[in-house]
């Protein structure tokens, strides 16, 4: 019978099939030599039994040592047709890769046929966003313009939302790199690449006001943004400034500096910016990294259309 473990479970059709002896030895190896949990071994067993059932359909003889990459690809295609998601398809192929690596170590094969089968591509998750009205509510809320911390915290949110810079770039932003007359800042980005990012009049005014107040805390560094003690801001502080501010403005879900960067890109595209321009502003190496935001834009447009158009959700009949 198939590999057994010490937990009780109902006997499903596949689990009750006689298992290939080579599979049995592989599962024993995983459990006793690799010390994998019974749940992990159970998952391997199910995938191997699915594979064996496919190869023996129609009473065909099955020899694991004679399998070709084409056999495995055909199985993956069939499983996809049966509704397996990309994550499940990847797991199944990885189970076969592990099995054939085991046979290679036992000198029973000279190559791994599963290693030549490309893993299913996982769908790229869409970036999380904050709705424009939520950010507007935060940026339009009253602030004591004589209070250093309140002005600085407002400026932090504005910089993320209006320039799209990364958390590390904001923390490392030098005071001399921000020109409110030209309304541009010089960002030192990934791979030591610098880029110029323009900004608007409102942000320039907030930077000037912040600088006036900052002179009273006697900054100890050349960074634009500092703590009330004059030291550079640090990641957890910046995160809490953004998160807490957006929560107070009614935001829900993931609320972080990186989400504001995503929101900047989406807002720019929604309001007519060219994709290549947004790529340059974000400091992306390739256009492919920026194109994900076009999907967000289309998704947002679809959502707004369905809410606004009187016939959008009308049933045909």
Question: What H or E segment, with its residue span, contains residue 241?
Answer: helix 235-248
Name which of 4-13, 68-77, 228-237, 298-307 the model is least confident about: 4-13
Residue 217: exposure state from Cβ atoms within 10 A (0-12, 13-18, ≥19): middle
Q: Can you name the residues that pair with 185 across neighbouring β-strands?
A: 178, 197
The overall average pLDDT reported for the chain is 85
What is the predicted pLDDT for the residue at 93? 94
Per residue in 232-280, pLDDT (tens digit) is 999 999 999 999 999 999 988 889 999 999 999 988 888 888 888 999 9
> Which residues touch 170 (CB under 8 Å, ≥6 apart)?
156, 159, 160, 225, 233, 238, 257
What is the predicted pLDDT for the residue at 272? 83
- pLDDT band for position 114 (cuts 50, 70, 90): very high
- pLDDT band for position 313 (cuts 50, 70, 90): low
Nearest alpha carbon to residue 282 among 265, 269, 257:
265
Angle, CA of 267, 294 and 272, to the nearest 5°:
45
Considering the chain, what percentage of its residues have pLDDT values greater than 90?
54
Mean pLDDT of 210-237: 94
Per residue in 140-184, pLDDT (tens digit) is 999 999 999 999 999 999 999 999 999 999 999 999 999 999 999
- pLDDT band for position 306 (cuts 50, 70, 90): low
Collapsing DSSP states into helix, strand and coil, what is residue 39? helix
> Which residues touch 60 (CB under 8 Å, ≥6 apart)?
none
Residue 256: exposure state from Cβ atoms within 10 A (0-12, 13-18, ≥19): middle
Per residue in 24-83, pLDDT (tens digit) is 899 999 999 999 888 899 999 999 999 998 988 877 778 888 899 999 999 998 898 888
Structure tokens at 268: 């720019």
- Which residue numbers are catalytic? 166, 190, 258, 261, 284, 293
Domains and CATH numbers, the chain: 21-116 (1.10.150.130), 132-308 (1.10.443.10)
What is the predicted pLDDT for the residue at 62? 80
Highest mean pLDDT among 6-15, 32-41, 222-231: 222-231
């Amino acid at each position: 019978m198939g590999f057994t473990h010490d937990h009780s479970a109902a006997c499903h059709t596949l689990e009750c099939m006689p298992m290939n002896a080579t599979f049995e030895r592989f599962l024993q190896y995983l459990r006793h030599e690799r010390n994998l949990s019974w749940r992990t071994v159970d998952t391997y067993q199910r995938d191997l039994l699915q594979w064996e059932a496919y190869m023996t359909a129609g009473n065909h003889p099955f020899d694991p040592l004679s399998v070709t990459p084409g056999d495995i690809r055909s199985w993956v295609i069939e499983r996809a047709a049966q509704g397996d998601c990309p994550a499940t398809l990847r797991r199944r192929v990885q189970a076969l890769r592990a099995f054939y690596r085991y046979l290679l170590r036992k000198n029973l094969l000279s190559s791994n046929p599963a290693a030549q089968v490309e893993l299913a591509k996982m769908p790229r998750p869409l970036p999380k966003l904050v709705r424009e009205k939520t950010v507007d509510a935060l940026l339009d809320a009253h602030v004591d313009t004589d209070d250093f911390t309140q002005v600085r915290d407002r400026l932090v949110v504005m910089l993320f939302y209006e320039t799209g810079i990364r958390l590390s770039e904001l923390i490392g932003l030098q005071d001399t790199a921000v020109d409110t007359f030209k309304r541009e800042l010089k960002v030192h980005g990934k791979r030591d690449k610098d880029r110029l990012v323009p900004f608007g009049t409102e942000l320039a005014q907030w930077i000037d006001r912040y600088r006036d107040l900052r002179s009273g805390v006697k900054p100890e560094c050349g960074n634009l943004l500092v703590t009330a003690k004059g030291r550079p801001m640090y990641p957890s502080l910046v995160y809490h400034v953004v998160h807490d501010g957006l929560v107070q403005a009614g935001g829900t879900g993931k609320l972080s500096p990186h989400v504001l960067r995503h929101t900047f890109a989406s807002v720019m595209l929604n309001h007519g910016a060219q994709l290549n321009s947004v790529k340059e502003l974000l400091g992306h190496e390739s256009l492919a990294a920026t194109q994900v935001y076009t999907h967000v834009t289309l998704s947002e447009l679809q959502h707004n259309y369905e809410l606004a158009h009187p016939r959008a959700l009308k049933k045909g009949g």
